[in-house]
Amino acid sequence: MRMKKLILWAPLLAACLLAFAGPPVYPGAKPVDALNEASKKAGRPNVLAYNTFDSFEKVYEFYKTKGVERVHNVNAQEKFAMIVFKESGYTVAIGWHEDSKESGTVIHISKGGGQ
């Protein structure tokens, strides 16, 4: 009898857990230690930074299919997008700047609205 109840509740439990999970880290992206340390020192431990040398457009396409786009600005010198994950309270900010392109595309994942 317990097994039947577990089988009935398992899909609902899995859906609830996924709803509160954070957004995925872009495949192959690496943590940016300097930015993450600066966030901690600034009292913002819920902000994590990653970077990838994949194009801004590729990273943007990955995240925009998973959340709700709030901002998307692109010009020759900089590119920026913000994707919100309402169910879990996370925000992903994606940025690329011409003058710091050696850093690649930078991804900030934050809990609680992300600033």
What tens digit of pLDDT does each residue of 48-93 get? 999 999 999 999 999 999 999 898 999 989 999 999 998 899 999 9
In the DSSP assignment, the letter for residue 43 is: T
- Contact assessment for residue 82 and residue 71, using Cβ atoms and an 8 Å cutoff: yes
Please give the backbone phi and psi of residue 51, each rounded to the nearest 5 degrees, phi first: -140, 160
| 2 domain residue, yes or no | no
Residue 110, SS3?
strand
pLDDT at 109: 96
> What pLDDT, on the 0 to 100 scale, is given for residue 87?
86
CA-wise closest residue to 83 among 53, 58, 113, 54:
113
In a domain, 65, yes or no: yes
Q: Is 4 part of any domain?
A: no
What's the token pair of residue 95? 């940025």
Q: For the whole model, what pTM was predicted? A: 0.77
Domain count of the chain? Answer: 1
Count other C-beta atoms under 10 Å from residue 74's C-beta.
Answer: 13
For residue 66, the enclosing domain spans 22-111
Helix, strand, coil % over all residues of the chain, rounded to 5: 35, 35, 30
Which CATH number characterizes residue 99's domain?
3.30.160
User: What pLDDT shows up at residue 17?
Assistant: 39
Q: Specify the length of the chain in residues.
A: 115
**Residue 13: inside a domain, yes or no?**
no
